Amino acid sequence: MIGILSQVVYVASIFFILYLLVYATYSFMAVAAGAYTLRTRDRMQTLRNELMHVFIPVSIIVPAYNEAPVIIKSVKSLLELDYRLFEIVVVDDGSKDETSQLLIDEFQMKNYNRPINNLIPCKPMEFVYEQRVGNVNIILIRKQNGGKGDALNMGINACSYPYFICMDADSYLQKDSLEKIVQPMLEDDSTVSVGGMILISQCVEMENGMAIKYRLPKSLLVSMQAIEYDRTFLGSRNLFDTFNGNLIVSGAFGLYKKSIIVAAGGYAVDHMGEDMELALKTHVYCRNNNIPYRMSYASSAVCLTQAPSQIKDLVGQRRRWHMGLFQSMTMHWQMFLSIRFGMVSFFSFIYYLLFELLSPIIEVFGVLSIFAAAHLSLLNIRFMIIFFLVYSVFGVILSLSIYSQHIYQQSFKLSVKDVLKGFLICLLEFVFFRYLLLFCRMQAFFRYGKHKRTWGTIKRT
């Protein structure tokens, strides 16, 4: 019996070491790809290698549910964008607060019987208000509650232009972000979606619609999320973008070609990760129909969003995200090890499966293996500690690399104090935050099936 157990522990330990090595390789590649991409882009901006055009017509869809505290500020910030041809479509998904009334009063909106082309099924609308502010048409649609995906589908049905942006009601766009996010569409006609970069608003000081200062805030929780966002948006997304392999276009800020999204069936309803599901669906639709396509990522198109500052909110948010990941991957299981999907299948999908979706199970299994190995006297404690320390330092340096990339990418200036703080936060992020996330992800498995249609909420600060 002990012999068999020893064999199992041996095989498991080989698996875990390979798992870590593959993850380390991926992480290193993400940092390298991020460094290369950002440096190249910076150089190209200096040399005016940019396609500037502000007349690609874009509809900005803002789904809202109980967003009364932020909705006016959010719409006002959109009106300040440096772009010529866009409209704002706010979809109130049956809010219980004053979201619609505040908008109607603030912009003196008028009730219209706006006809809506029902391209994608969604819950019925209750009323539509419109107002023109300068050159921008603001449309408010109030509909029956159906969840974020359903609200976005209503927005797609109601919008007038061939491209649309979806964004969160509590997010703000940097002044030049629309101009930047349409650039990949100008570069390549086959581009069907473009993801923007998300920054945490608590870290940023804005002036005239542009981020001018970046500081890790006092809240450790928010600071650790800032480092995590940097790793995702400046590392992973850039790496996946090199082979058209991004499996997610952030729901907080993404641009889409309407015709393709409508043809693919729009957003999934009753879904916790409608943004990822749409990205996977787009891959599947285009590959199945032999449509040449590109899903781009534009790190220069910046959106600011508020990160949860309380552990309870963070846990809820991450649990929802993980449930969404689970739903999306199981819905599009056909992408698993499929030659038709190429790198998207063999690199991106596998990554999300092993290092995101299954990571809580694998990591808990790893901890159990350590205990089993210790019990069977197979554990080399000295080696384990060294291994853990080396790997921790590796993770911290990796985060620091990404952090420094972020700083130079946006030409922010940092003091010595900021640098030291950055180092401390990277360390804490690696030894504390990832285990908190592990806990959230584990919870997602146990609580899967509950609150599928709920909107995520966080305490505003």
Partner 1 sequence: MFNDLRIHLAIIMYLLGCVSIMVYNAMVIIRKNNSSKAMVRNTDRWAKEIKIQLEQDEYELNPKHEKNLRRYLRNVEQLIAYSNALGRIKNEDYAAALDRYMVKLVENDVFVYLTADYRDRRTQERAYLAFFISQYPQVAKNSDGISSGTVDNMVSYIEDSDIYCRVNVLKALSHVGDMYGVANVLQFFSERRYFIHHKLLADELLCFVGNKEDLAKRLWSNHRIWNPNIMLGVVNFITMCSGAFDEEFLPVLKNPSANVEIRLAIMRYYRKNIYSQVHPILLEYLSQTENYDFAIVAAFVLDAYPSPVTTAALKAALESDKWHVRYNAITSLVNLGEYSEDMVNELIEHDNDALQILQYKLEHAGGKEIRVGGAAK
Pairing of strands 253-257, 294-305: unpaired
Nearer to partner 1 by C-beta: 31 or 252?
31
The whole-angstrom separation of Cα 156 and Cα 343 is: 30
Which three-class secondary structure state does DSSP give residue 242? Answer: coil
CA-CA distance, 229 to 307, in Å (whole number)? 10
CB of 4 vs partner 1, minimal distance in Å? 17
Q: Give me the least distance between CB of 44 and partner 1, in Å please.
A: 6
Note whether 145 and 116 are within 8 A (CB). Answer: no
CB nearer to partner 1: give 403 or 455.
Answer: 403
Instruction: Tell me the closest approach of the beta carbon of residue 386 to partner 1, in angstroms.
Output: 6
Rank residues 215 and 281 by Cβ distance to partner 1 and give the closer one: 215
Least Å distance between CB 224 and partner 1?
19
Nearer to partner 1, 17 or 311 (CB): 17
Q: Tell me whether residue 41 or residue 123 sits nearer to partner 1 (CB atom).
A: 41
Minimum gap (Å) between residue 170 Cβ and partner 1: 31
Structure-block tokens of residue 3:
């012999």
Q: How far is the CB of 455 from partner 1 (least distance, A)?
A: 29
Which has the closest alpha carbon to 353: 328, 379, 382? 328
Name the burial class of residue 37, with classes exposed (0-12), middle (13-18) and buried (19+) by CB atoms within 10 angstroms of its CB: buried
Of 31 and 272, nearer to partner 1 (C-beta) is 31
CA-CA distance, 204 to 79, in Å (whole number)? 20
Q: Which two tokens stand for residue 183?
A: 């650039």
Q: Which of 386, 380, 353, 391 is nearest to 10 (CA)?
A: 380
Q: Using CB under 8 A as the criterion, which residues of the chain lie in contact with partner 1 when the complex forms?
A: 10, 13, 17, 20-21, 24-25, 27-28, 31-32, 35, 39, 42-44, 46-51, 53, 55-56, 112-115, 117, 185-189, 380, 383, 386-387, 390-391, 393-394, 397-398, 400-401, 404-405, 407-408, 411
| Distance between CA atoms of residues 198 and 451, nearest Å | 26
Could you give the CA distance from residue 203 to residue 218 in angstroms, rounded to a whole number?
A: 9
Residue closer to partner 1 by CB (options 160, 288) is 160
In the complex, the smallest distance separating the C-beta of residue 436 from partner 1, rounded to whole angstroms, is 23
DSSP-derived secondary structure letter, 357: I
